[in-house]
Amino acid sequence: MVKKVAIIGGGAAGFFTAINIAMINPDIKITIYEASNHLLAKVLVSGGGRCNVTNAIYDPKELIKNYPRGYDFLEPVFNQFNSKDTQNWFNAYGVKLKTEDDGRIFPESNSSQTIYNCLTHQCKILGISIRLKSRLKQIEFKNQQWELKFKNFDTHADFVVLATGSNLMMYDLLRSIKIPIVDPVPSLFTFNVKQHEFIVLAGISVPNSKVIIKEIPDHEEHGPLLITHWGFSGPAILRLSAWLAIPLAEIDYTFTLIINWNNYDIELLKRQLLIQIKDQPKQKIANWIGHGLPKRLWQKLFIQMGFKEYLNWAELGKKGIDSILKNLTCFEVSIEGKSTFKEEFVTAGGIDLSSVNPFTFAIENHHHLYAVGELLNIDAITGGFNFQAAWSGSYVAAKAISGIAHK
Ligand SMILES: Cc1cc2nc3c(=O)[nH]c(=O)nc-3n(C[C@H](O)[C@H](O)[C@H](O)COP(=O)(O)OP(=O)(O)OC[C@H]3O[C@@H](n4cnc5c(N)ncnc54)[C@H](O)[C@@H]3O)c2cc1C
């Protein structure tokens, strides 16, 4: 008898699972049930409309380092399907990809529509059915089959793949069938400052910052930092928000951010200041360029330190040296709240990975029930890693399902 697979959710993970099952085993009847009226909505808006499909880090051991949640779970998954496989897969189905200098991989067209077109076209030629406006409301395993209740109709399937992304209603439904859920919290966000004295510098970035949260000092991040109208953003901040997503939620996004503006070594910087005092005693400190920061940022910090515009190196004194060292290496700013990072935001939390098999993506203690994509407690920093987790998990689940569905 023809086996029926129900894929719940028409996003990246649902499509990739459906297509790969159909490619490996064309005899299976596959239907994607999508709650909304739109398919692949997040793919279309992803990467600022360009869709950062994956990343040029190929080694599974290196790849997993980009996942604050999922780190341990993903290595065997990437051993089965990694970012190189993603590239090959899309190339094989007509999507030309390009790698940017920072390793992010996009369609050559610079348009997420290309990925949408590829996935929907493959679905069509493989005969995969799609039902829109079909929100799963209830799920129960009865008489060796899954009974599925949607808003307006009921159906049944031999295999069910849950690919509903981060969805609170779905978490409740899954809890009701005893699937453990890790409570969701946002990840990948920017930091807000209430009295933002640096607002005049919005748009200025430094390439080589070091950032730490005073209340959670174990984790530091390095890299570009951007001053925005609301506070601080840029890769270093986004990475901090992802790795510390859970403790930051616990302190309600109210904390002190410590910025070392140019990842200065404090001793080296001190020596540099002493050389300035010795060699350039009459020069104005305001005109110093040895800090390596954008001029406007240095001028703002200089005023912040309470120095007079005409102060020269000979007049600086020990207190002045300490003030420069503190403000350049240990600048403290109070953060109150967060903002969504528009290009990419994800949720930490979801199905507890201890109940998922990394070689099949089957959910433990539930016959022929699988989960893929953001519904799982897996999330990454920016760079195409979130999609990569969705492609890899979906491929592994598809292979496992096709392998047993014909038996
Ligand atoms: C603005 C934005 C930009 C992003 N850019 C990038 C990027 O460039 N690179 C990257 O790697 N990641 C990016 N991400 C993250 C990435 O989009 C997600 O990790 C990925 O889309 C997850 O895919 P998914 O299929 O698991 O979930 P989703 O894409 O969320 O799809 C789940 C689908 O399930 C449907 N659904 C939910 N509940 C039900 C139900 N009960 N019944 C039926 N259907 C249901 C939903 O309507 C949805 O269509 C971005 C995210 C956002 C929000």
* Residues 329 and 225 placed together within one structural domain of the fold: yes
State yes or no: pLDDT of 348 exceeds 90: yes
> In whole angstroms, what is the distance from residue 18 CA to residue 398 CA?
7
Identify the band that residue 2 occupies on the pLDDT scale cut at 50, 70 and 90: confident
Three-class DSSP category at 159: strand
* Residues 85 and 209 placed together within one structural domain of the fold: no
Pocket of ligand 1 contains residue 107 by CB under 6 Å: no
Q: Which DSSP symbol is given to 363? A: B
| Of 308, 323, 340, the domain-final residue | 340
| Of 340, 359, 374, the domain-final residue | 340
Ligand 1 mutation target, pool 7, 39, 42, most atoms within 8 A of CB: 42
| Of 318, 340, 362, the domain-final residue | 340
* Residues 171 and 35 placed together within one structural domain of the fold: yes
* Residues 31 and 93 placed together within one structural domain of the fold: yes
Pocket of ligand 1 contains residue 351 by CB under 6 Å: no
- Count other Cβ atoms within 10 Å, centred on residue 256: 12
* Residues 40 and 156 placed together within one structural domain of the fold: yes
Q: For residue 300, give its domain range.
A: 189-340
State yes or no: pLDDT of 407 exceeds 60: no
Identify the band that residue 174 occupies on the pLDDT scale cut at 50, 70 and 90: very high
For ligand 1, the distance from its centroid to the CA atom of residue 315, given in whole angstroms, is 58
* Residues 195 and 62 placed together within one structural domain of the fold: no
DSSP class per residue in 39-73: SSHHHHHHHHHT---EES---HHHHGGG-TBTHHH
* Residues 16 and 153 placed together within one structural domain of the fold: yes
State yes or no: pLDDT of 406 exceeds 80: no
* Residues 149 and 115 placed together within one structural domain of the fold: yes
Pocket of ligand 1 contains residue 9 by CB under 6 Å: yes
List the CATH number of the domain containing 374: 3.50.50.60
> What would the two tokens of residue 77 be?
């998954």
How confident is the model over 87-116, as a mean pLDDT?
A: 97
* Residues 111 and 235 placed together within one structural domain of the fold: no
147 CB burial (10 A radius; 0-12, 13-18, 19+): middle
Judge whether 93 and 15 are in contact, CB under 8 Å: no
**How many folded domains does the chain comprise?**
2
Ligand 1, atom nearest to 387 Cα: 11
Residue of minimum CA distance from atom 10 in ligand 1: 384
Pocket of ligand 1 contains residue 50 by CB under 6 Å: no
For ligand 1, the distance from its centroid to the CA atom of residue 238, given in whole angstroms, is 19
> In whole angstroms, what is the distance from residue 12 CA to residue 40 CA?
6
* Residues 311 and 166 placed together within one structural domain of the fold: no
* Residues 353 and 261 placed together within one structural domain of the fold: no
* Residues 305 and 318 placed together within one structural domain of the fold: yes
Percent of the chain residues past pLDDT 70, beyond the cut:
100
